[in-house]
Amino acid sequence: MPDALDLLKTRRSIKPIELAGPGPSAPEIDTLLTVASRVPDHGKLTPWRFIIFEGEARLAAGDAIVAAFRSKYPDAKPEQAEAERKRLARAPLVIAVVSRAGPHVKIPEWEQVLSAGAAAMSLVLAAHAMGYAANWITEWYAYDRGVLAALGLADNERIAGFVHIGRPVQPPEDRPRPPLNEIATRFARH
């Protein structure tokens, strides 16, 4: 198990196609979701929920994706349609983080959306801490209402991310990170 700070300092996303099986077991998925749901949540609204895609269900979800794809691109080649069908079947496990943010008398919707982002990030970090790798992506189908309805989302719900989880087939190369002096300032009275 990596030291917590080392983990946070070295975490990297791995492409969905490079996330191999076997994926997390059922008890491990419970641990992932337990960590993901332990996030700051102003007003205790639980403005998010999770949908698990595993095994054959990933391709059943892919049927909805490919149907939406075909209606957008009726002339698409069969291999393109097949790739769309496999969108959620690249990694052994995909967990959708669904935002249920909405108008509230006291809690701004923005803060509810941020809480869903926190849940997605905690899910990514939990996967890494358990020795898996992850990738938080949305892609076009996260914004297609037809696909979302087929996946069981209500009209007021949105996808914060499809978090792909699996075992890295190779260690990732790092990418440049923003220099701290460009993103952080120390406040001083003007």
Ligand X SMILES: Cc1cc2nc3c(=O)[nH]c(=O)nc-3n(C[C@H](O)[C@H](O)[C@H](O)COP(=O)(O)O)c2cc1C
In angstroms, give the least distance from the CB of 159 to ligand X: 9
In angstroms, give the least distance from the CB of 162 to ligand X: 8
Using CB under 6 A as the binding rule, the residues of this chain from 8 to 67 that contact ligand X are 12-13
Which residue, 30 or 109, is less far from ligand X as judged by CB?
109
Please state, in angstroms and rounded to a whole number, the distance separating the CA atoms of residues 123 and 121. 5
Name the packing angle between helices 78-85 and 57-72 (round to 10°): 140
What does the per-residue mask of binding to ligand X show for 85-124, with x meaning CB under 6 A? ----------------------------------------
Using CB under 6 A as the binding rule, the residues of this chain from 157 to 186 that contact ligand X are 161, 175
Which residue, 66 or 121, is less far from ligand X as judged by CB?
121
Would you call 141 helix, strand, or coil by DSSP? helix
Q: What residue has token string 């099986």? A: 21
In angstroms, give the least distance from the CB of 15 to ligand X: 8
Which residues have C-beta within 8 Å of that of residue 117, sequence separation ≥ 6? 160
Using CB under 6 A as the binding rule, the residues of this chain from 127 to 146 that contact ligand X are 135-139
Please state, in angstroms and rounded to a whole number, the distance separating the CA atoms of residues 127 and 125. 5
Please state, in angstroms and rounded to a whole number, the distance separating the CA atoms of residues 142 and 109. 19
Return the C-alpha torsion angle 161, 165, 169, 175, nearest 10. Answer: 40
Number of residues interacting with ligand X: please give it, by CB under 6 A: 9
Residues near ligand X (CB under 6 A): 12-13, 135-139, 161, 175
